[in-house]
């Protein structure tokens, strides 16, 4: 399948559940994104520090150690233009700047939310 304009976009997927992380990564890879993954907030911050091509941080909210909200604050402090999409299986009205995708989500829901965060490339 040919890649679309999304192939130039990079998404960092962060989730402590390896099955969920792999699911999201494969959905986004199939949609043409360059996908990086991290199993926790600490390793995600290391990825953000060394790779300045990340366009979107897609992170679970509830994780051991650094939670998704703390991760987003630290990552956007380093990279203010970074877009953030949170995911949670729990009801929450506490989402700081960023959108929340409720788990379980379908592939089209995930790709739609990621696309809504990114500006359209110039034609």
Looking at residue 8, its pLDDT comes to 82
Boundaries of domain holding 94: 5-115
| pLDDT the model gives residue 113 | 94
- Count the Cβ atoms, other than its own, within 10 Å of residue 93: 5
Residue 45 lies in a domain: yes
pLDDT in tens, the chain (123 residues): 334 445 489 999 999 999 999 999 999 999 999 999 999 999 999 999 999 999 999 999 999 999 999 999 999 999 999 999 999 887 665 555 568 888 999 999 999 999 999 977 655
pTM check: above 0.75:
yes
Q: How many structural domains are present in the chain?
A: 1
Taking the C-alpha atoms of residue 3 and residue 121, their distance in angstroms, rounded to an integer, is 14
Flag whether 23 is in a domain: yes
CATH number of the domain bearing residue 41: 3.40.50.2300
Give me the helices (H) in the chain, please.
18-30, 41-50, 68-78, 107-117
Structure tokens at 49: 């520090």
In a domain, 122, yes or no: no
Task: Give me the pLDDT at residue 1, please.
Answer: 35
At residue 89, the 3 state secondary structure works out as coil
Is residue 103 a part of any domain in this protein? yes
Query: ∠106-51-78 over CA atoms, to 5°?
Result: 95
């Amino acid at each position: 399948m040919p890649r679309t304009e999304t192939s130039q976009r990079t998404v960092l997927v962060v989730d402590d559940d390896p099955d969920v992380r792999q699911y999201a990564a494969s959905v986004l890879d199939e949609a043409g994104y360059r996908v990086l993954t991290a199993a926790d907030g600490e390793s995600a911050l290391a990825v953000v520090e060394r790779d300045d091509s990340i366009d979107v941080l897609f992170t679970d909210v509830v994780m051991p150690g650094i939670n998704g909200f703390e991760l987003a604050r630290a990552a956007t402090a380093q990279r203010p233009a970074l877009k953030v999409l949170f995911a949670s299986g729990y009801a929450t009205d506490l989402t700081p700047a960023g959108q929340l995708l409720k788990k379980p989500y379908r592939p089209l829901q995930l790709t739609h939310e990621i696309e809504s965060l990114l500006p359209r490339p110039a034609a």
